Amino acid sequence: MKELSHIASAVQASTTLAIDAMYKQMKADGIDVIGFGAGEPDFNTPDHIKQAGIQAIEDNFTKYTPASGILPLKEAVCRRFQKDFGLEYKPSQVVVASGAKHNVYVALQVLLNPGDEVILPAPYWVSYYEMIKMAGGVPVVVTATEDAGFKITPSQLEAAITPKTKCMIFNNPSNPTGMVYGEEEVRAIAQVCVDHEIYVIADEIYDCLLYDGLKFTSFASVSPEAKELTIIINGVSKTYAMTGWRVGYSLSNEKLAKVMGNYLSHSTGAPASMSQKAALASIDGPQETVETMRQAFEERRNYLVERMNTIPGVSCIKPEGAFYVMMSIEQLVGKTLHGMEIHDADDFASAFLKYGLVATVPCTGFGAPLFVRWSYATSMDNIKEGLDRLERFLAE
């Protein structure tokens, strides 16, 4: 048989989705496992949003839509960006796709020529790395240490830029670290990108999940020059607990939006029509549920971080957004736990799943091999039980 595509064959399976599938299978097999794997809100989609989806089906809104989404949804996105960030976009600058993951993918496909370099601050979300390669690009990883609050500096960015640099992926608040770049930090990073004319894929999907009273700064809002180079990625999955509806969107300059729309017209055709109506209801409708969920996440974060730091052998810094905590396992390296020698996060996460019955995500594929990610998008009871299990697992 002839060989398969080299690019496709090199793609690794998504660790987050693989762990989630393993956890769900163990649960289905009757095993008492607790999952801190996939970053997916445990809340149900709010009722008024579900109703809009049901109504769309009842109204036979079940046909193809324009490839980059329906106009009312694009208009709602523009209204939201005007209201929340003072950013003016036209509907022709909005591209709706089948999940924000798909928006990132399409943005990279549209920006990159083979061999183009993409700056990727680490720790990074596992899918970025693979998607850059899938688009023929070369990931250039810039590491932000835990001591630096997992944030890169403008001089680190500057040092990584070469004549081949096409863009940077800037995820704020970050998956997996949960850290948030404040306005001055965003401004300084944006200035480097403007000076070197590099595009920025600004993934802001966690923009509504900030804690300690922090305020979010959208990358495009810092200057007109930054706005011109930025493709904002956002969506409804995290803010409205709508992961399965598969709707995300981007905002960019008109030329980029047009090319992304053309690309979509030959790939997905369009996002699901009824999901677009539900997404419209989420953005246009009452926003109280967003705050209720945010407060629940903040409470869980506080408990998780405080208690984790009392457990000998592990530690974490306090994340300021999203719903992830990065647990350092550095002190455990070289130790043997339940008969398994721990070299890195992969070893720890498999031992913890097998002997502790807790699913977490090793950050080996996230550019942080000595960290394990806990998603606290799960109930407080699960968080308490998960930490009890961690204590027992490490004590034996």
CB atoms within 10 A of CB 220: 25
Match 């990883």 to its residue by tokens. Answer: 141
**What is the DSSP-derived secondary structure letter of residue 374?**
E
Instruction: Identify what 14 binds: ligand PMP, ligand GLU, none; CB under 5 to 8 Å per kind.
Output: ligand GLU
205 touches ligand PMP by CB under 6 A: yes
Residue 15 CA to residue 283 CA, distance in Å, equals 30
Residues 12-51 that bind ligand PMP (CB under 6 A): 39
Residue 195 CA to residue 371 CA, distance in Å, equals 34
Q: What is the total count of residues that contact ligand PMP (CB under 6 A)?
A: 13
Site string for ligand GLU, 6-25 (x = CB under 6 A): --------x-xx--------
Match 């579900």 to its residue by tokens. Answer: 50
Least separation in angstroms between residue 248's CB and ligand PMP is: 4
Site string for ligand GLU, 35-54 (x = CB under 6 A): ---xxx--------------
Name which position in 93, 175, 252, 276 contacts ligand PMP (CB under 6 A).
175
Strand partners, 231: 201
Instruction: Identify what 49 binds: ligand GLU, ligand PMP, none; CB under 5 to 8 Å per kind.
Output: none
**Encoding tokens for residue 114?**
């083979």
Instruction: Identify what 248 binds: ligand PMP, ligand GLU, none; CB under 5 to 8 Å per kind.
Output: ligand PMP
Least separation in angstroms between residue 126's CB and ligand GLU is: 7
Nearest to 304 by CA among 290, 318, 322, 321: 318
Nearest to 345 by CA among 374, 320, 377, 317: 374
The answer to whether residues 207 and 218 touch, using CB atoms and an 8 Å cutoff, is yes
Q: Stretches 79-87, 96-104, 254-262, 386-394: which one binds ligand PMP (CB under 6 A)?
A: 96-104
**What is the DSSP-derived secondary structure letter of residue 321?**
B
Residues that bind ligand PMP (CB under 6 A): 39, 99-101, 125, 171, 175, 203, 205, 235, 237, 243, 248
